[in-house]
């Protein structure tokens, strides 16, 4: 039986390649013939190696548990056919955790049945396989990966929004160009006498009238602001001042205070050009000073 270990043929080929440069040309054909042979591992040798390292030990010494895919107990709708995404670190780690938990739940009853203690004493403190610093590093790494994925998703959404905004902007520009083209065509037809009216002018007039009506209704509904209302409540409202000196229908028809002599500068009124009276002329500066000195 061939007892050569697996890979012996590859090592032999490597030695042949190494020695080929140092051999004379007469032995090249023989060595190339050796290399051209298909070197396969011996099946009997592999079986013998497998039998040598296989140990017939009890299950307590081996503690091996074989389980199939374990579903998430929280999600009831999960099926055994759900595949784990290998690129998702959290999903992969959670599948490892569920697999290990299911193996422990299956192995504990068997250990108790064999009367093997599974709980350590309260005064026994054992170190973890990984230190707290290592677990903190792993946690930070997973957290940084998650944040990077979130930033990437936000960047994708931002790019999509920018593309959508650019698309809307292009559509608006195209619509404006189309409206401008239609307007120029309508003006040309009107100049040539092909049409008797311009439609876009009518649309602008109707829109402006609608805006005026809306603004008028807003003005009528609009009242004093909060500051003005507070002032009126505190000091009172003195009445309407605007238009108080304008004449009305009653004052226009009332002629009781009309004096014809005063109106035509004939009576002793305040005086005009031909009247004797009139407003006294203001004395000069020196005269006013003399009057002040006399009064003292």
**206 and 166 together in one domain:** yes
Backbone torsions φ then ψ of 72, nearest 5 degrees: -75, 120
Domain membership flag for residue 281: no
176, 210, 244 - which closes a domain: 210
Asked whether the predicted pLDDT for residue 96 surpasses 80, the reply is yes
**6 and 45 together in one domain:** yes
**18 and 70 together in one domain:** no
**62 and 12 together in one domain:** no
Q: Which residues contact 112 (CB under 8 A, 6 or more apart)?
A: 118
pLDDT value, residue 37? 61
- Whole domain around residue 104: which residue ranges? 58-74+82-121
**142 and 206 together in one domain:** yes
CA atoms within 13 A on the CB side of 118: 13
Domain membership flag for residue 271: no
**18 and 50 together in one domain:** yes
Written as six digits, the tokens of 276 are 């004797």
pLDDT value, residue 20? 45
Mean pLDDT, rounded, for 262-279: 59
Domain membership flag for residue 42: yes
Domain membership flag for residue 277: no
Domain membership flag for residue 234: no
pLDDT value, residue 268? 57
53 vs 206, higher pLDDT: 53
Which residue is it, tokens 């203690």?
117
pLDDT > 70 fraction of the chain, expressed in percent and rounded: 70
Domain membership flag for residue 273: no
What pTM did the predictor assign?
0.28
**159 and 184 together in one domain:** yes
**206 and 143 together in one domain:** yes
192, 210, 228 - which closes a domain: 210
**38 and 65 together in one domain:** no
Burial of 49 (0-12, 13-18, 19+ CB in 10 A): middle
pLDDT > 90 fraction of the chain, expressed in percent and rounded: 14
Domain count, the chain: 3
195, 210, 225 - which closes a domain: 210
Domain membership flag for residue 216: no
Highest mean pLDDT among 88-92, 103-107, 265-269: 103-107
Written as six digits, the tokens of 141 are 């790494």
pLDDT value, residue 213? 60
Asked whether the predicted pLDDT for residue 14 surpasses 60, the reply is no
Domain membership flag for residue 265: no
Q: Can you tell me the distance from the alpha carbon of 81 to that of 70, in angstroms, rounded to the nearest whole number? A: 10
pLDDT value, residue 219? 56
Asked whether the predicted pLDDT for residue 233 surpasses 80, the reply is yes
Provide the total of helices (H) and of strands (E) in the chain, helices listed first: 11, 0
Task: Encode 91-129: b = buried (16+ Cβ within 10 Å), e = exposed.
Answer: eeeebeebeeebbeeebeeeeeeeeeeeeeeeeeeeeee
**89 and 63 together in one domain:** yes
**91 and 153 together in one domain:** no
Radius of gyration, alpha carbons of the chain? 54
**104 and 145 together in one domain:** no
């Amino acid at each position: 039986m061939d007892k050569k270990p697996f890979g012996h043929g590859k090592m032999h080929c490597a030695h042949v390649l190494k020695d080929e440069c140092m051999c004379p040309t007469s032995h090249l054909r023989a060595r190339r013939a050796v290399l051209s042979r298909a070197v396969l591992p011996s099946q009997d040798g592999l079986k013998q190696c497998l039998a040598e390292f296989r140990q017939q030990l009890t299950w307590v010494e081996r503690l091996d548990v074989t389980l199939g895919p374990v579903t998430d107990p929280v999600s009831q709708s999960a099926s055994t056919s759900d595949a784990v995404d290998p690129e998702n670190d959290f999903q992969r780690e959670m599948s490892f955790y569920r697999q290990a938990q299911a193996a422990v739940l299956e192995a504990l009853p068997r250990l108790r049945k064999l009367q093997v203690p599974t709980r350590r004493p309260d005064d026994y403190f054992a170190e973890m396989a990984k230190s707290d610093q290592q677990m903190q590093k792993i946690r930070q790494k997973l957290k940084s990966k998650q944040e990077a994925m979130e930033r990437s998703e936000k960047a994708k959404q931002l790019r999509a929004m920018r593309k959508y905004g650019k698309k809307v902007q292009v559509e608006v520009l195209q619509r404006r160009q189309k409206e401008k083209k239609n307007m120029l065509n309508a003006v040309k037809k009107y100049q040539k006498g092909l049409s008797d009216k311009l439609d876009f002018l009518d649309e602008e007039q109707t829109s402006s009238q609608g805006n005026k009506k809306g603004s008028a209704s807003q003005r009528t509904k609009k009242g004093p602001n909060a500051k003005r209302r507070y002032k009126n409540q505190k000091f009172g409202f003195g009445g309407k001042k605007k238009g108080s000196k304008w004449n009305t229908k009653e004052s226009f028809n009332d002629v009781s205070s009309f004096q014809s002599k005063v109106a035509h500068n004939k009576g002793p009124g305040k005086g005009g050009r031909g009247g004797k009276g009139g407003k006294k002329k203001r004395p000069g500066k020196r005269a006013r000073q003399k009057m002040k000195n006399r009064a003292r």
